Chain A
């Protein structure tokens, strides 16, 4: 059975002034899978993420989310197509409590308050933040805020989730929890594009990996292939 393509980029380019940050990138993510995106600092990973979520308008190429071409769409239109996103520095709603934080994506739904509350607390429960549900988001540690972002994404229920450095600064126990949840969500049919420096987690999770260097995809394939690809090794260790 041919898997559905949830996200597809073809020939994506983005430059800032004279600097070509993303160069001719082809990338695709299938349904129910996790694609990793790795590369050294400055390779263009976050820029690419921003292009996909609409924060940056790419210069050229094509961007398709579930078959819908959305190259120059605004962030909220792209989000509404079913693209969720977390950020390197967590963007939680600081002065409201965790339950309300998680409820935000579903405020417009036609559900009654009870269902809304139960779904929200369930999401919090899954990331083990249930006991802190009445605390304000600003009272959480950085790692906990990342978990909160994850819970919020769960509530948002998108088809594809862009995770930007979800493990950075998070302690190993919480990391394991996140990895479990991500795997669960994959089983439920969600897709992920995961940017991380934590190669261990990426290798654990990814079905497919893209390696970015100087804005270009220099290698792609499954974990073993990428691990042993001489080009990748050189990019990470050598004279870029």
Chain B
């Protein structure tokens, strides 16, 4: 056991350099990601696939705030995404607002919805999961019930040629960038530490002075914000939506799987998991469409059974010295 007084005076600066190393590696990764996404349209690449990739990265990073950091698994996460698509579509199509305003407005609607749903955070594990899922279903049914002039009923809305695809693509890029930067910030901030304490033992955190309900609300709002923005960008890019696809539970499922596979609670995890699995998904889907959902289910089952902390998380468990390099 170490002797008392092993602490050295320059330890804090060592700590800072260690942090810098971690951050640099992380920034390197996301720079590569962002650059490649940026260059794709300029080289006539596959816009749809890259857009999809950016969207899932944003969603996975977003869900990480409330699930990985705070320990709440929102099975109804798609509700925020869906609201984002609808608000954008309605603003553009029905009210003639420009997309450049509509998408940020979508983000705002995500925040408002998060505030509305905030009381559910008081619920414990399984109740939270069931209510979250139910709320997403309610949102979906609501959208199909509202007047057709506004929401297009069960057929949804079509934005037609009014939207410029490439601009939608770059909107998603900007959103992803902001999400990743937020994640970087959270990973190093006191808020991030407080959230993890809440995740591990909310009562102990409470007794130590952390204002649990307020702090986790921040994470909740952040998660909802990015999901809604992603939905808005999606509406912009594809120009069409309907209640079934906008609130599809598979969106939550894939977000969870991608984020988990990488490692919830880490910053790199969701990005790594998403990029890997989205590539695999694309390849498999091309060749074996029916197999797709089966594989998805298999992956999540195997993940929960054998690698619940994801690839990155499990690596850090096995090789603790890697923690110096991984955010």
Contacts and interface: CB of A to CB of B under 8 A. Distances in A.
Contacts of B205: 93, 104
A204 to B, nearest CB: 21
Nearest to A135: B320
Contact of B265 (A85, A95, A100, A121): A95
Contacts of B15: 117
Interface in B135-163: none
Contact of A93 (B6, B204, B209): B204
Given A121-B7, A122-B7, A125-B5, A95 B209 contact: no
B7 A95 contact: no
Nearest to A87: B204
Contacts of A114: 12
Nearest to B321: A134
A10 interface: no
Residue from A91, A107, A126 whose CB has the most chain B CB atoms within 10 Å = A107
A96 B205 CA distance: 13
Interface stretch (B119-127, B188-196, B228-236, B285-293): B188-196
A108 B210 contact: yes
B196 A79 contact: no
B6 A96 contact: no
Nearest to A83: B207
B4 A128 contact: yes
Interface residues on A, range: 35 or more
Interface residues of B, number: 32
Interface string A114-135: 1001100110011010110011
B4 A125 contact: yes
A126 B209 CA distance: 22
Contacts of B208: 79, 104-105, 152, 156
A131 B2 contact: yes
Contacts of B190: 103, 107
Contact of B207 (A79, A128, A134, A173): A79
A125 B5 CA distance: 7
B300 interface: no
B60 to A, nearest CB: 19
A152 B12 CA distance: 19
Contacts of B211: 108
Nearest to A155: B208
B323 A134 contact: yes
Contact of A125 (B7, B201, B212, B265): B7
Contacts of A94: 200-201
A156 B200 CA distance: 18
Contacts of B201: 91-94
B213 to A, nearest CB: 10
B152 to A, nearest CB: 45
Contacts of B212: 76
Contacts of A139: 320
A156 B209 contact: yes
Residue from B7, B201, B211 whose CB has the most chain A CB atoms within 10 Å = B7
Interface in B297-322: 320
B1 to A, nearest CB: 6
B280 to A, nearest CB: 28
A125 B193 contact: no
Contacts of A134: 320, 323-324
B277 to A, nearest CB: 23
Contacts of A96: 193, 196-197, 200
Contacts of A91: 201, 203-204
A93 B4 contact: no
B44 interface: no
Contact of A130 (B7, B197, B199, B209): B7
A93 B197 contact: yes
Given A95-B199, A130-B7, A156-B209, A107 B194 contact: yes
Nearest to B313: A95
A130 B204 contact: no
Residue from A103, A122, A130, A139 whose CB has the most chain B CB atoms within 10 Å = A130
Interface string B166-200: 00000000000000000000000010011011011
Given A75-B206, A96-B200, 19 more contacts: A75-B207, A79-B209, A85-B207, A93-B201, A94-B200, A94-B201, A95-B199, A96-B197, A100-B196, A103-B193, A104-B193, A105-B208, A118-B11, A118-B12, A121-B7, A125-B6, A126-B4, A130-B2, A135-B320
23 contacts: A75-B203, A75-B207, A76-B206, A79-B207, A85-B207, A91-B201, A92-B201, A93-B196, A93-B204, A93-B205, A94-B201, A96-B197, A100-B196, A101-B197, A104-B205, A105-B208, A107-B190, A107-B193, A118-B12, A125-B4, A126-B4, A134-B324, A136-B320
Interface of B: 1-7, 11-12, 15, 190, 193-194, 196-197, 199-201, 203-212, 265, 320, 323-324
A-B pairs, top 7 by smallest CB distance, nearest first, are A93-B200, A131-B2, A105-B208, A79-B207, A76-B206, A91-B204, A107-B190
